Every structure is written in structure tokens, then in C-alpha cells.
Structure 1
């Protein structure tokens, strides 16, 4: 991190501005959580769609987002150069997303084929609206202050708000579904209520962040030029590769939670309890991780958290097979503490990568970088249900509808247990070499830049 005279003398950000920015993350946390947690189960066990078709219906819309997010990122940078703000795309996403979210859980008719097509279409449109909000929103921390410590403060507030959004989405959405009697009506009511929450927090954030000045460079870059310029940032892409594997691990666990609760712990209602235990420790853990990272190093703490998450996920397997609810909930709490670090430290390193890259290119392309980052995150989070659906299909899982549940074979129970525990653990461990590569590349770039400044 570099500090110039402006950064040193610029005043700290007031809490009102930190709150105004971060509250939007309640909405992004909800949308990042609820579809991954409930949409696959909604398709297979409420609408009667086969696991293979349901997985495809959830993965295909996100494949489009891999293309869309970088486009939105470049468009956001062009808007920033022309107007000095990123507000238009933020507003578009904040208005459209809540409506489309409710539509995902309001499937008409009784045909499984129609249900799969409806959910896939609504999910594609909702994910596109989410990109319009999320990409410029994630770009704002790089511009919220010239001071690295204040950018870190903004990220800490944001991750706490994301954690609260995850808690609202993952903890309350299944409760609303169950309280409304389950089935189609329960999911439809949940979609409307959660959509209203998203609308309030996201529109509030759009209004509260209009003061943030956006300066992406001396001239607007087209999509190809922006991505070509960003591609030279090797440390960023090493960090991104590590984060993709971590996002995928978390997404697989999200998709598997209702199945683990229903078929291994014999109580779908434990989905909410598992989620509360996973998310509740995250909020107080975020500032603790921030202090530890400032003292011992961001990458070192990041690696410790990923390794601990892998260990906790692997330990869930025997706890689930034994049906030990206290052990499962305790391990979920440990994963929550680690997940707080994964969120905070990965996203804290992105703005600094943008600032470091501006020394190389002359363009602080926050939109281009966050477009690539959110595309990868979106793809990984979407691939999670697809990967878990593939595990179910390979282990002979039997789809059912809400009124006619079926007994699963032993192969399906083993498959969903492995998919919920050992598979995410393996993905976390594989992410560590890329994280260490990021540390080495970033240090090499810092030394090279310092050498140029002294000449």
C-alpha cells in the first residue's frame, strides 16, 4: 500500500458514510445466499425437477454472467470517466433485482419442465440485474478514500453488512418458507418478503453513495482495451484463482445444507439453525480478523483461515453420519469464523490491487477489475449448486415433490454427505498454492515499483 500527501492529510470517513455505503451489502448478501441455499432444493423437492435438469437450470444463467460482468465493469468505468459517478448502473440493479428475485420463487403451473424453464429465465434476469448493482458497488471502496486505512475500514463495514445479509437470507428465508406451510406458497411468500428487504437496503445505499467521486483514468476505455490493460496484473489473477476455488467450496456447502439437514439430521428446519451458527460468529469475527491481519499480514491470516475452514468442513462428515446435531452446529460456528476472514481479506486485497495497478497503467480501473472479480464470484457461486447436483445425480439421488417425499438410497446419502463436507474441504486446500503465488507476485511487483521510484 502506498500513501501520498493527500492520503495522509485526508480526514477519516465518518460513520454515516461508512454505514450508507455498507448497507447495500445487506442486499448483496441476501442474493448471494438465498438462491444458492434454496433454489436447487426448491426445484428438486418442491417442483419435482430432476437433479440433472435442476443443476443445468441454475448454472446456465450464471454462465451468461461470466460474460456480462466484465461488460458491466467496463461500462461502469466509462460512466465514471464521463460523469464522475457510478450511480446509474447502481440504480438500475437496485430497482430490478428485488422484483426478479420474487419471480424466481413464483413458478406458475405444475409441469416440472415449465418450472425449470421459468426458474432459469427469472434467475438469468435477476443475476443480470445483480451485476448492474454489484459490479459498480464493489468498485466503490477503491474510490471511497485515498487513505489505505480508510479503504480497509470501509471494507470491514461492508463485510459486517454482508454477514448480516447472509444471516437474514440464510437464517430467515427457510423460516419464512416453513412458517408459511412450505411448498409453492411458502416459497412465493418468502420471495416477496425478502425482495422487499433487498429493495429498501439497496436503494438506500444508492442514494447514500452519490458523494463518492469516481476517477477511472484520463479517458474511457472500451471493453477489450480495459480487459487487455487489466490482464497484465498477474498478482490480481493469482488472487482471483484462489478466491474462485473458495467461492465454489462455500457455494457447494450452501447448496448441500438443506439436503444434509433433511436426510442426515432428519429435520429440514435445522437448515436455519446451521446457517445461524455459520453466520452469527462472522460479524464479531470481522474486526478481530482485521486487527490480526494488520499485525501479522493479510495473506498469512487469509491462508490460516482457508486451512482452518478445510479442516472444519472435513470434520463435518463424521458428525453428520453420526447424526450429532451439537457437533454439526459447533463446527458450523468454526466455519463461520473462518468464512469471515475469507470474505474480509479477499475483498480487502482487491482495492489495493487496483491502486497498485494504476502505477503501472495510469488507469485506476476499479470497474474493470471488479467486473472480472464479480464474474468469477458469480460463476463459482452458481457452479456450486450445479456441482452438488452432479454429486446427487452420480449417487442416484431420487427427486420428489413436496407432497410425495421419497426414501433415498444409501448411495445418495453417502454422496450428499461427501459433497457437503469433503469436497469443499478439498477445494479450500487447493486454493492455498494460488494464494501463496499471489503473495510472491505482489511482493515482486512492489520491489520492482520501489526500484523505479528510487531511480
Structure 2
């Protein structure tokens, strides 16, 4: 049994707020492209659905290279700002510009438009890694206490909820402000507003974490790639947690990509995307104290199982939307939101535990490498969610279009939208419940989970 150390170190409220506000970057860059980019390409740039799915996915392959590299560099960084914060600043100076360019909408359609968006999205992914990889490494270095990390990260989740509201409600509202289906100009306006929000949030996190503790931070691991990856390969809690998070992220990314299609073709109102996201993020903002208590009561493993079951149950129930209507859809998404809140909080808390245990057992600072791999794999898997949904649309016969030439979708395409939003993600989330049973890291003094589970 592997157990994380417990200590009395607590993180000040100011640092918690400063750290938490950086989640506006995490949630926004994950949500806005996941929610709008596929729809933007198929319905505004006349990019075929399968190619749009490839464009969303392809830049993520680069993450497998750049994220671990940035993590390794941040582990070895020596500066008066600490090992992580210089990278936060670098991301803040580059990501907002790259994000805007993705939705800048040059006068291109079809394959040329796909190439343009693909290049800009590749730059965005790189700039995002500069900030996100070191950012995720910080909680495991702020405190040794098993439950304090969950308490610290609930602040992060509150900001994720707020950012998801901005991304899922404000961004679509701006897009549809100049017409029910939006225009290229409205997408540019949305990108400008989101880029400004990103800049303010990332700078806020950089300055807000100036007094963040580095409790007993070990020396950086100076071994080569082969030695570091060999050690990570033997870290079973990290491997299981990464696979678990990737499985859950695949389902989340599919639902994000499907949301505007679900609103437009299942509910009959593109603007319903905003209210659906309000139903999703409300529980994130309100249930964090509940999930912290459940994690203490049932341990993080048990709470994660409960959260995933709620998520999967709500997603499954949404299959009945064509029969029970728009109110039913919002009720099911509300249930999904409760489960999603727990899943997100517990993922990051478990990752911080794994980082702390690795540092305690090896005496080396490898948080950057661990979070780099985590972020790269998770990001790549999330892109596959959009790709899978794009393939489902293509199989269903979805027809790409431009605003000036709207088309009537066949019934098979409408059915494909419903399946991609509900049935497939539900199956994936149920699989993650089985995977959670293999997670073995427990608090000190607790019995190890039953290996036969």
C-alpha cells in the first residue's frame, strides 16, 4: 500500500485564491474549442465533419512531445520566482493571442480553412502547455497533507465552475448575439472577449501565487528521459489515475463537441447551449463543500465512484430527451453537473497525492514531468472525443454548410447527434467506474483497498 504523507502545512487564503483563478485558463481553453470549434468549422468554414474532427485532434499529438518537455524544464528551472511561475508568465504572454487567431475567421473555406485553423490551434496548444503543465504541478508541492490538498483544490474547482459558465454560457451568447446561428464577426468578438479574460486570469495566478509555499521541495531529477520514464512506468497509482482521467475526459470532450448540435438539432434551439451549460456549471459552483466531505467520509476512491455513477446516470437519462422534451434535458444535465463536479475535484486531488508520494519516495522533483505526461495524454484523448463525434456525424450523413446556404439534415444525422451526446459518453463513464476500483493510493492509517475489487 502506498500512502501519502500527512503534515500540518496549510495554504493561505490569498494563495488559494491566486492559484484558483488560474483555472480560468484551464476551463476556458478546454471548453470553448471543445464546445464551438467543430461547429464553427463545419457550419461556417464549410469544412467536412471528418476533416474538422482531424483538425481538432491533430495538434494534440504535439502535446505528447511538448508537455513532458515543458514539465521537465520547469522541474529544472532555478529562478527567484521559483521553478513554476516563470512558465505561468510565459503562457500568459502567448496564449491569449494564439487563442484569438483560432477564431479570427480569414476568408477561407474547406481544406485551406482547415489548414489555417489547424496551425493556429497547434500554436494555442503549445502556449497552453507553457502555463498548464507547471500550474498543475504546484498543488503537490504546496502541502504534504492528504486532505488539505482536496480543500485547496476545491477553490480551484469553484473557479473552474465560474470559467465553465463564462465559456459555456457567455461564449455561445456572444456568438449568437448577431443571429440565432451566429456570424463570423460574432465569433471574432467572442474570441476577443475570451482572450482578454484569459490574459487577466493568467496574470492573476502568476501574481497571486507569489507567496505559494514549496514545502520540502526536493531537488530536480537530473536523470535522462529513459531513467525518468522507467520510474514513472513503475508508478502504478499514477498510471491508473492517468488512464482513469483519460477515460472520463474522452466522455466529457464528446459531450462538449456534441452540445451545440444537441441544442440545434435535438432541442431545436441553438441558444439552448447556454442554458444547458448553466445547468452543468451550477452544481460545480455549489457542491464543492459536499464533495470535500464525501471524500473524507468515503475516501477519494469511493467518492470518485459515486461521482462517476451520477455523471453516467444523468447522461444515460438524456437519451429520452426526444420523448420527454427540453425540461427533461436540463434536469439530466443538472445531474451530470453534480457528478462532473466531483469527478473533476477528485481527479486533481488524486494527482496532487500521487505527485507528493513520488517526491517523498524518490527525493526528486518530478512534478513537472508527471503533470506534463498527464496533461499531454489527457489533452490528446480529449481531442479524440471531438474526432469520434465527427466520425459519428459522418456515419449519420451529416451535411456541412455555410451560413449563406443552410441545409436540412437527414433524420439519420439527428439520431447520430443524440447518440454522440448521450449513449456513447455514458458507456465510457461507466467504464471509468470499473477502472476506479484499481486505484490503490489511500490516506495514512487506512486499510488498502481490496485487491479483488
Tell me the TM-score normalized by structure 1: 0.93
Q: Does structure 2 conserve the Cα–Cα contact (< 8 Å) formed by 1:70 and 1:223?
A: no
Q: How far apart, CA to CA, are the structure 1 residues paired with 2:347 and 2:79? A: 27
Q: Does structure 2 conserve the Cα–Cα contact (< 8 Å) formed by 1:81 and 1:216?
A: no
Displacement of 1:15: 1.3
Q: How far apart, CA to CA, are the structure 2 residues paired with 1:351 and 1:298? A: 12
Q: How far apart, CA to CA, are the structure 1 residues paired with 2:74 and 2:225? A: 11
Partner of 1:268: 270
Q: Deviations over 1:221-254 (max 9, x none)?
A: 4444332222211121111111111000010000
Where in structure 2 are the equivalents of 1:72-221 lying within 5 Å?
72-79=70-77, 84-181=82-179, 182-214=182-214, 215-217=217-219, 219-221=221-223
Aligned pair partner of 1:247 in 246, 249, 258: 249
Where in structure 2 are the equivalents of 1:349-364 lying within 5 Å?
349-364=350-365
Partner of 1:53: 51
Q: How far apart, CA to CA, are the structure 1 residues paired with 2:307 and 2:340? A: 7
Matched, 1:392 2:393: yes
Structure 2 gap ranges (5+): 449-453
Displacement of 1:219: 4.8
Displacement of 1:217: 2.5
Displacement of 1:213: 4.9
Q: 1:248 to 1:266 in 2, by over 3 A?
A: same
Partner of 2:416: 415
Partner of 1:258: 260
Q: How far apart, CA to CA, are the structure 2 residues paired with 1:426 and 1:234? A: 25
Q: How far apart, CA to CA, are the structure 2 residues paired with 1:199 and 1:155? A: 22
Q: How far apart, CA to CA, are the structure 1 residues paired with 2:221 and 2:315? A: 47
Q: 1:195 to 1:323 in 2, by over 3 A?
A: farther
Displacement of 1:68: 1.6
Q: Does structure 1 conserve the Cα–Cα contact (< 8 Å) formed by 2:57 and 2:387?
A: yes
Q: How far apart, CA to CA, are the structure 1 residues paired with 2:129 and 2:359? A: 24
Q: 1:371 to 1:218 in 2, by over 3 A?
A: closer
Partner of 2:431: 430
Q: How far apart, CA to CA, are the structure 2 residues paired with 1:48 and 1:150? A: 49
Displacement of 1:48: 1.0
Structure 1 gap ranges (5+): 449-455
Tell me the TM-score normalized by structure 2: 0.93
Q: How far apart, CA to CA, are the structure 2 residues paired with 1:2 and 1:431? A: 23
CA RMSD of aligned residues (A): 2.1
Partner of 1:292: 294
Displacement of 1:343: 0.2
Partner of 1:25: 23
Q: How far apart, CA to CA, are the structure 2 residues paired with 1:80 and 1:333? A: 45
Q: 1:206 to 1:224 in 2, by over 3 A?
A: farther
Partner of 1:369: 370
Aligned length: 442
Displacement of 1:444: 12
Q: How far apart, CA to CA, are the structure 2 residues paired with 1:334 and 1:124? A: 34
Displacement of 1:3: 4.3
Partner of 2:66: 68
Displacement of 1:210: 2.7
Q: How far apart, CA to CA, are the structure 2 residues paired with 1:224 and 1:340? A: 36
Aligned pair partner of 2:316 in 314, 317, 331: 314
- Aligned partner of residue 143 in structure 1, secondary structure: helix
Q: How far apart, CA to CA, are the structure 1 residues paired with 2:111 and 2:220? A: 51
- Aligned partner of residue 287 in structure 2, secondary structure: helix
Q: How far apart, CA to CA, are the structure 2 residues paired with 1:322 and 1:377? A: 35
Q: Does structure 2 conserve the Cα–Cα contact (< 8 Å) formed by 1:74 and 1:226?
A: no
Q: Does structure 1 conserve the Cα–Cα contact (< 8 Å) formed by 2:64 and 2:376?
A: yes
